[in-house]
């Protein structure tokens, strides 16, 4: 399964505003449960969300975990959400990272977002 950064962003925003944890059955319009579970697992494993290690069974033929539970955002998750919350920033980040072709690492996307915000605020000398 390919990483979908729009889904990553949506899940982080949802986790921030949710009254409790999110699991693989969390509904996101346009995405099935496997995609949601897979991406929640990525968020936990990459340190953007706290939660137990995603669980897989030997019978599982999907790339999605059988069990995943994102409890809350980590400080890195909050930083990502704070940077990418604004639709204008998110659109510019996607435009800039599209030049790289396939999937770009979460840390790179976060750095590009921070650069975009600095430019919007007039804090970069090169803007």
The full 3-state SS of 89-108, as one line of letters, equals HHHHHHHHHHCCCCCCCHHH
Kindly state the tokens that stand for 82: 């704070």
Residue 20's nearest CA partner among 48, 50, 46 is: 50
Share of the chain above pLDDT 90, in %: 55
Kindly state the tokens that stand for 106: 């979460």
- How far apart CA 74 and CA 59 sit, in angstroms, is 31
- Taking 50 as the threshold, does the pLDDT of residue 14 lie above it? yes
- Average pLDDT over the chain, rounded to an integer: 89
**Band of the pLDDT at 127, cuts 50, 70, 90?**
very low
pLDDT digits (tens, 9 = 90+) for 36-79: 999 999 999 999 999 999 988 888 777 888 899 999 999 999 99
**Band of the pLDDT at 81, cuts 50, 70, 90?**
very high
């Amino acid at each position: 399964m390919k990483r979908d950064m729009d889904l990553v962003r949506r899940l982080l925003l949802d986790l921030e505003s949710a009254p409790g944890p999110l699991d693989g059955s969390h509904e996101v319009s346009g995405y099935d449960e496997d995609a949601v579970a897979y991406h929640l697992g990525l968020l936990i494993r990459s340190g953007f969300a706290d939660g137990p290690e995603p669980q897989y069974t030997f019978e599982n033929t999907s790339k999605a975990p059988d069990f995943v539970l994102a409890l809350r955002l980590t400080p890195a998750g909050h930083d990502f959400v704070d940077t990418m919350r604004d639709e204008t920033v998110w659109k510019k980040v996607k435009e800039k990272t599209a030049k790289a072709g396939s999937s770009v690492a979460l840390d790179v996307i976060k750095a590009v977002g921070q650069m975009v915000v600095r430019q919007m605020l007039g804090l970069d000398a090169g803007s």
